[in-house]
Amino acid sequence: MKLGTATLLGVSGLLLSACNNPLTLENYNKLKSGQTYAEVTKIVGEPARCDETLGIRSCVWGDEQRGLTVNFVAGQALLMSAKNLK
């Protein structure tokens, strides 16, 4: 019986975390040019990775199948793109 309860709690936790996924089209639409890195991460969470070249910081959330990219120049969001967000 305890194993069934633990399984139910685990599945419930997974479902709740899926509902709280910040990588949504709704959250992407909240992103605006000029927002800081801190403002962007407050909306969509921490990125999977960031790279910097020639003063442009490019951060990626998600993966090649589904996610978003934000390019920051002088600490502010400039270009944003999304792929397969719902």
Specify if 2 maps to a domain. Answer: no
Q: Which range of residues forms the domain containing residue 58?
A: 22-83
Integer Cα distance of 26 and 23 in angstroms: 8
- pTM here is 0.76
pLDDT in tens, 21-61: 899 999 999 999 999 999 999 999 999 999 999 999 999 99
CA dihedral sign of residues 35, 39, 43, 47: positive
85, 70 in Cβ contact below 8 A? no
CATH of the domain at 56: 3.30.1450.10
Specify if 4 maps to a domain. Answer: no
Confidence of residue 10 (pLDDT cuts 50, 70, 90): very low
Q: Count how many domains the chain has.
A: 1
3 state SS of 23 = coil
